[in-house]
Amino acid sequence: MLTFPPPVERAWDRLRPDPVGLVLGSVFFVLALTPSLIPRDILFQGVACGLCAATGYLVGVWLSWNWRTWVSKVVQILWEASGRSLPSWVPRWRRRVEITLSVIVVLGLNAILLQAVHWQQQVASLTDYRAYTPAQYLLVFPVGFSIWMALVMVGRGFLHLEAWLKRHLPQRLPLPVRSVSSWIIVLVLVFTLVNQAIPGIIIRGAESAFSVRNSADPPSTPRPTAAERSGSPESLVAWESLGAYGKRFVGRGLNAQGLEKVTSRPASEPIRVYAGLESAGSDQARAALVVEELKRTGAASRSAIMIAPTTGTGWVDPVAALSLEVLYDGDTAIAAAQYSYLPSGVQFIADTDKARASGKALVTAVVAWWKTLPEGDRPRLLLYGESMGVLAGEAAFDSLADVLDSVDGVLWAGPPNSSRLWQDLVTRRDPGTGEVDPTYSAGLTVRFAQDQEDMEAFAGDTTWGDHRILYIQHASDPVVWWSPRLIRQTPDWLREQPGKDRSPTMRWMPYITFFQVSADLPRAMNVPAGHGHRYGAEILDGLALISHDSSFTPERVAQARQELERALATQPSDD
């Protein structure tokens, strides 16, 4: 039998990982290496592996506890009833077997990491992303193993707390009562930490950091002088109240002369109006201020008005804004209002209702004003949203019919899985169509596209009505597909054939897939445009479609893409 130095055996006795937990944790570690939606770097792959391994270890510990508590006794009774006796382990042998098993597990994990490189290279090729070398990917092991062991130590800390409580609760209480009470206290503590304390710390830290950034003046962003911009000397909105991303929105972009330079066509001065958090004291007041700005700038005489509920920080995608202005040669107005200065991911944890309330106020106010204009002589009203902007925009409507009665066209890109209207439409999709690429009511009003190719197929389709809703959703976008239901339920999109840029080897596994897609979320924007949560110039194609303008032919849209590329090249890189 293999022997180990006494210090190793003494250290093992102190640490003593559960053997079943070690095996199941290792299996979960390996399964976490399988492909998901986008390529994961070393850190986030390690996080996914560590979380999955800790979950597997917990399952193993639970199975071991059941074995020790009652299963082994039942087996012993049944075994002895057959006239035989169970063999007993010699403690020294058991320790050596456990240490040997652990060494095998560690070596095995490193060997399987080499296969994981192949899986990640496959995902990288589908998303046009760079792949790691085998030597680089071996660094996943120390990251994942450290997180795994750290979580095991935290779990042991809670077990020690439970034992301490059981010893120090009033001794007059029966042992079962003390045991149950101590477990209840520990579980309440864990629940409070996970659901309130830790998110609260994250949110307060983000508020402290991003409130400073929100009040800072962004570089390369002078105060606008054109009356068509909020924050200008003629504006009703003070420049200082716009916030960092509001200043970017109104202080950047192209004026009429800049548009003419990139398109070689005459252009109007684009209208951009915005209300920051400090511009007014409530969502309704900010929405009213935006409407007053639309009136002041003469938006009623433009060809198109686009309502653009912002993401968490107050950001309006410059690609979307410039796309509309390039398509319409600046004869446009874009309206937006800030509801937060937190990044979308943090705002999603903190309070999605805030985004919905702001979006409802903004859309309702602009639509109400727009409907007062002469029906045959008013601009085309469009609604655009991306990520949290989808949640904000759809909150203004009770149903699909309400959307169609309120605006002429809607473009929603990368809708979060919790989007109410999106969920309803996808759930009620036409039979035989998938969740990744659904068809709703034969595409008469609502359509879904995975990429530019899908949208090009929609061009010139006369069966699509005058009022249009278009969702763009990449098969590789974790924002679209992440849901808590991934923990225990196979989603339709993983039962179906994979979309255009999702690995066909991705499979649903309880808990593991949830952790994998969760680890994909922070990197959703760190892939080339056209994949993950980066929609890029696909927004231009989408806006051309929902505008339902006969002049936006495939040739005109292709030309506009080139013009958009030139327009974006003039903008600061930090936008």
pLDDT over 60 at 147, yes or no: yes
pLDDT tens column, 232-264: 999 999 999 999 999 999 999 999 999 999 999
List the helix and strand counts (H, then E) for the chain: 24, 7
Indicate the pLDDT class of residue 27, thresholds 50, 70 and 90: confident
Quote the tokens at residue 340: 């937060």
pLDDT over 70 at 93, yes or no: no
The pLDDT value given to residue 99: 67
pLDDT over 90 at 308, yes or no: yes
pLDDT over 80 at 8, yes or no: no
* pLDDT, greater one: 459 or 6: 459
d(CA 573, CA 575): 6
Q: What average pLDDT does the chain have?
A: 89
The pLDDT value given to residue 4: 56
pLDDT tens column, 515-567: 999 999 988 998 999 999 999 999 999 999 999 999 999 999 999 999 999 99
Residue 411, strand partner residues: 384, 470
Supply the DSSP symbol for 551: T
Instruction: Select from 323, 335, 334 the least CA-distant residue to 263.
Output: 323
469 φ, ψ to 5°? -125, 130
Percent of the chain with pLDDT over 90: 62
pLDDT tens column, 160-201: 898 899 898 888 888 888 889 998 999 999 888 887 777 777
Instruction: Select from 378, 409, 399 the least CA-distant residue to 307.
Output: 409
Mean pLDDT value of segment 51-62: 92
pTM of the model: 0.88
Task: Please report, in angstroms and rounded to a whole number, the separation of the first and last CA atoms in the chain.
Answer: 64
DSSP for 118-186 reads HHHHHHHHHTT-----HHHHTTHHHHHHHHHHHHHHHHHHHHHHHHHHHHHS-TTS-HHHHHHHHHHHH
* pLDDT, greater one: 380 or 129: 380
The pLDDT value given to residue 1: 47
The pLDDT value given to residue 457: 95
